[in-house]
């Protein structure tokens, strides 16, 4: 294997992270797993968040490298949530050099959406992420990138698990206080809130949201709402609204691209990433209503069969001017095909 290079890729999220090492031929040789690597969730107010991010990235890399007994990677791509700006990339790189000077010969940093796009295709495309947080990115064939969302739970994350959970609680609270009537009875959703968060009155949510805040824990409540949506109309309505706002993000990017190119899209492949899309049947009608635009006639919705760390590895190799061959036809499956 003298002529073989080893490439690494990391899919870094707000709840969990995944790493793999691949050969130049795209064979997966090692895997490792980690926790949150979003520096702004690890510590929003200090460099500690970037240091903690670098430490977790290094730990994952060391674990994966030990599985195949190598000391250094030729290149690694890091597709990490919270890594959208040049400033954040500079700070992560500085922290990595401090924590692990031998991390890899070449390091490429991008946000988590890019890893997903290049796991499905070497030519760009669109990805819609709805997990703990949310984001939507379209990368045209010419490299031009359009984005909406990705602003975090304080001012954005529409359609994410956290957004669903927060919206559910706000719906019941507003109804209880007489601010705005819920469109359907709230008794089932109220019981779900009390049972999941182990509270007896709404005042006890204050400690959960302000004293002991854990975004992933709050986000995970969305699964309970999804399960209840099978029979409860209010929970079903919340998932319709989730599909609607996710569809609007796709529509926004299509319209942005049309405003520049003046070209309609006959169809678009859209990669759906994140646990929220496990509830696709409950999102579908809202998504269709939200995505409708005269500039897009149809969409093919794809789910990845492999972690987007693979696309990150591809970008790392590309950054080093080396070739990583991926078998794209094996890496995606079609969730649904929509036409309107």
Taking 70 as the threshold, does the pLDDT of residue 45 lie above it? no
Q: What does each C-alpha distance from 203 to 28, 37, 225 come to in angstroms? A: 49, 31, 21
Closest-CA residue to 215 (of 111, 274, 132): 132
User: What pLDDT is stored for residue 83 in this prediction?
Assistant: 76
Taking 80 as the threshold, does the pLDDT of residue 164 lie above it? yes
- Tell me what percent of the residues of the chain surpass a pLDDT of 90: 80
**256-292 burial: b if 16+ Cβ within 10 Å, else e:** ebbeeeeeebeebbbbbbbbbbebbebbbebbbebbe
Taking 90 as the threshold, does the pLDDT of residue 3 lie above it? no
pLDDT tens by residue, 287-313:
999 999 999 999 999 999 999 999 999
pLDDT tens by residue, 225-269:
999 999 999 999 999 999 999 999 999 999 999 999 999 999 999
Q: What does each C-alpha distance from 255 to 114, 167, 294, 295 come to in angstroms? A: 20, 27, 9, 7
pLDDT tier at 44, thresholds 50, 70, 90: low
User: What pLDDT is stored for residue 2 in this prediction?
Assistant: 43
Q: What is the value of pTM for the model shown?
A: 0.83
Taking 70 as the threshold, does the pLDDT of residue 46 lie above it? no
Tokens representing 334 are 């079609």
User: What pLDDT is stored for residue 160 in this prediction?
Assistant: 97
Q: Round the average pLDDT of the chain to a whole number and report it.
A: 93
pLDDT tier at 7, thresholds 50, 70, 90: very high
pLDDT tier at 111, thresholds 50, 70, 90: confident
pLDDT tier at 281, thresholds 50, 70, 90: very high
Average pLDDT score over residue span 6-30: 93
Which residues, in sequence order, are CB contacts of 28 under 8 Å at separation 6+? 20, 21, 22, 310
Average pLDDT score over residue span 119-147: 91
């Amino acid at each position: 294997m003298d002529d073989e290079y080893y490439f690494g890729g990391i899919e870094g999220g707000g709840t969990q992270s995944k790493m793999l090492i691949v050969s130049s031929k795209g064979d997966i040789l090692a895997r490792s797993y980690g926790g949150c690597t979003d520096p702004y969730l690890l510590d929003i107010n200090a460099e500690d968040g970037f240091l903690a991010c670098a430490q977790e990235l290094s730990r994952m890399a060391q674990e994966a490298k030990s599985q195949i007994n190598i000391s250094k990677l030729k290149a690694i791509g890091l597709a990490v949530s919270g890594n959208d700006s040049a400033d954040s990339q500079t700070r992560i790189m500085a922290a990595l050099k401090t924590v692990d000077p031998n991390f890899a010969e070449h390091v490429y940093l991008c946000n988590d959406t890019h890893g997903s796009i290049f796991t499905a295709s070497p030519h760009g495309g669109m990805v819609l992420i709805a997990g703990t947080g949310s984001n939507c990115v379209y990368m045209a064939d010419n490299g031009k990138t359009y984005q909406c969302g990705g602003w975090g739970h304080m001012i954005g994350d529409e359609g994410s698990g956290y957004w669903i959970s927060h919206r559910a609680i706000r719906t019941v609270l507003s109804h209880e206080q007489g601010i705005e009537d819920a469109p359907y009875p709230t008794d089932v959703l109220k019981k779900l809130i009390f049972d999941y968060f182990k509270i007896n009155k709404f005042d006890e949510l204050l400690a959960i949201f302000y004293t002991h805040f854990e975004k992933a824990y709050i986000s995970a409540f969305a699964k309970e709402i999804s399960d209840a949506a099978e029979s409860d109309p209010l929970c079903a309505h919340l998932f319709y609204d989730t599909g609607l706002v996710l569809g609007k993000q796709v529509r926004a990017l299509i319209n942005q691209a049309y405003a520049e190119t003046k070209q309609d899209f006959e169809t678009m492949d859209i990669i759906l990433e994140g646990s929220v899309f496990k509830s696709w049947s409950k999102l579908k009608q809202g998504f269709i209503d939200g995505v409708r635009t005269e500039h897009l006639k149809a969409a093919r919705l794809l789910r990845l069969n492999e972690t987007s760390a693979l696309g990150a590895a591809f970008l790392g190799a590309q950054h080093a001017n080396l070739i990583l061959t991926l078998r794209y036809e094996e890496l995606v499956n079609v969730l649904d095909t929509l036409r309107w």
